[in-house]
Amino acid sequence: MTPVRTAVVATGQSDHGRRFDASMGEIAREAIDRCLGSRGLTFDDIDAVVAGNMEMFEGIYLVDQYLVGALGALDKPLYKLNTGGTVGASAALACYHLVASGRHKRVLGVGFQKQTEGSAQSAITTVGDPVWERAVMAGAIGNFATMASTYIAESGVTPEQAAKVAVKARRNACLNPHAHLQLPNITVEEVLESEMLAYPIHRLDFCPSSDGACAIVMAAESIAADHAEHPAWVHAVATSHDQQYMGDSPKRLAVMRSLQAATKKAYKLAGVTDPRHDFDVAELYEPASYAELAWYENVGFCPMGDGGKLIDAGVTLIDGDLPVNPSGGVLSTNPVGATAMIRVAEAANQVMGEAGEHQIPGVRRALATGYGGNAWSDVMILSRELPATAEVSA
Amino acid sequence: MSTQAQAFNREQAIRIEQQITLQYRFAAGHHASRFFTALRDEGKILATRDAEGNVMVPPRPVCGLSGLPMTEWVEVGPDGVLAGCTIVYVPFIDPMTGVQRPVPYGFGLVRFTGADTSIYHLLDATEPEQIGVGKRVEAVFKPREERTGSLADIRHFRMVD
């Protein structure tokens, strides 16, 4: 079977932040209405729905049942996923597969999280293996802090270089009306002086807890041009997992084996040979400042160990050679079930030329990544050009 | 009576408070049971090894790297090195007790001597200067009569370097 060439043709996001005014269904619907509304689409146009969140943040299981109405999924195939932090990207990948398989023409993907409703740190604890990991867990922050210590030992990256990432994210966020943390006057000094959460991670080195939702529509080649002037064509999708326990990867963060493996597969499919120059923009899933620097290395934007130099040179700033997270990234907005789909949606917006004030001029090709759980990676490559081959999945 | 939607005042939004307590009793399985029994009764750290020589803690039936069964048991540690480490300052509820852990506390990935993988555990350090990747640590066991057969039978890891 030859797959169908597939594109993102519409995206929509809720306002992200502390949304005590909106229920889970309402915030999901806010993103969906904006997504469908932007193209004059209705639920009648949607063949299937893929939804994703992490249930323990709200403590509501079977959200797909409670949100059938909000998701417009009555009498339609509705698939609910949870792959941890990656879930938004996994849902986007699932949308891709449902269209590329030829089964459906238009599929709606929705990622959502009301992260302020429960205890984020307690919810993260339930991610840990109950026998081996929960007894001593210190939440996402303790996990990222130990990863950062390994990365510092490997690369010699400095707190100042990490702080530059934190500053870049919150300043970029000021150009994104959906972003949660918009800090126009933030400085490197302010990041370094912010409260130490877990050494070496300061409060401003870390992502916030946000409420929010994101929606996308993926469409088949036969109709994609009906919905978007410049569809964001899927040129590669790839997923890689690592081993099961937190301590299984010898140099976590410094060497993110799953991200290296997923990007390697995706680059091969999309014909990317020089990622530093072959991409015009990237939306990387960076829950901490140090993570973004490590991802630069692991996705091949620079040699291993040179992540700090890339931010020092300003390459990844919004006006740099290869802007990373012009949306403000995860450091500015983290409704975890939506977060990885926001990466896909923002990358698609850049390719479609519809990113608004944070649009990078002349984007042809964009990279989006999702990160979750222990060390799982989703990768999607989107392009303005129709792919030469429809074989884009690994 | 008007049924028109009124402008919604976000400040007046109602929030419903609930508390859910769920209790579980997890089967550790025979690999973990053997590990915890040796830890409790003999103060030994056991790992599994495959035919390629990969030695893994936690012990497991199959090596994720080679795909080979891990049929051989070997003793590792009780000393090792830090593969990653931090000092935690943010208050965190201990999921085993429901009580907030006193901060600051040390936390890290310990690679036992003889093992290829690491486990997370607590460190007897409270200052960043005391810890570091590659530094040597040693397991501090609870007294035999306090050990129950869990990872908490190791009280923490003592900084040796």
CB contact under 8 A, B90 and A198: yes
> Are B95 and A139 a contacting pair at CB < 8 A?
no
CB atoms within 10 A of CB A187: 13
Dist. CA A30–CA A71, nearest whole Å? 10
pLDDT value of residue B67: 92
Q: What is the pLDDT of residue A355?
A: 98
Give the pLDDT mean for B90-110: 83
Q: Cα(A98)–Cα(A101) distance, rounded to whole angstroms?
A: 5
pLDDT of residue B6: 62
pLDDT of residue B101: 81
Q: Is the pLDDT of residue B4 over 70?
A: no
Q: Provide the pLDDT for residue B3.
A: 54
Question: What is the pLDDT confidence band of residue B1, given thresholds at 50, 70 and 90?
Answer: very low
Per-10-residue mean pLDDT of chain A, 394 residues long, equals 93 96 96 98 98 93 92 96 95 97 97 91 83 79 91 96 98 98 97 97 96 98 96 97 86 89 97 97 97 98 97 98 98 98 98 98 98 90 92 78
pLDDT of residue B8 exceeding 80, the answer is no
Distance (Å, rounded) from C-alpha B92 to C-alpha B101? 6
User: In this complex, do B64 and A243 lie within 8 Å of one another by their Cβ atoms?
Assistant: yes
Q: What is residue A286's predicted lDDT score, i.e. its pLDDT?
A: 96
Residue A102 identity (one-letter amino acid): G
Task: Assess whether pLDDT exceeds 90 at residue B54.
Answer: yes
From chain B residues 123-152, the ones with a CB under 8 A of any chain A CB are: 128, 131-134, 150-152
Contact B65 A150 (CB under 8 A): no
* End-to-end C-alpha distance for chain B, whole angstroms: 77
- Dihedral in degrees, nearest 10, Cα atoms B111, B115, B121, B125: -30
Contact A134 B87 (CB under 8 A): no
Separation of first and last alpha carbons in chain A: 15
pLDDT of residue B10 exceeding 80, the answer is no
pLDDT confidence of residue A375: 83
Chain A partners within 8 Å of B150 (Cβ) = 135
- B88: chain A residues, CB-CB within 8 Å: 138, 141-142, 145, 197-198
Question: Quick one: pLDDT at residue B91?
Answer: 80
Mean pLDDT of chain B: 91
Q: What is the pLDDT of residue A243?
A: 83
Contact status of A142 with chain B (Cβ, < 8 Å): yes
pLDDT of residue B105: 93
The reported pTM is 0.96
B98: confidence class by pLDDT, cuts 50, 70, 90: confident
Question: What confidence score (pLDDT) does residue A128 get?
Answer: 85
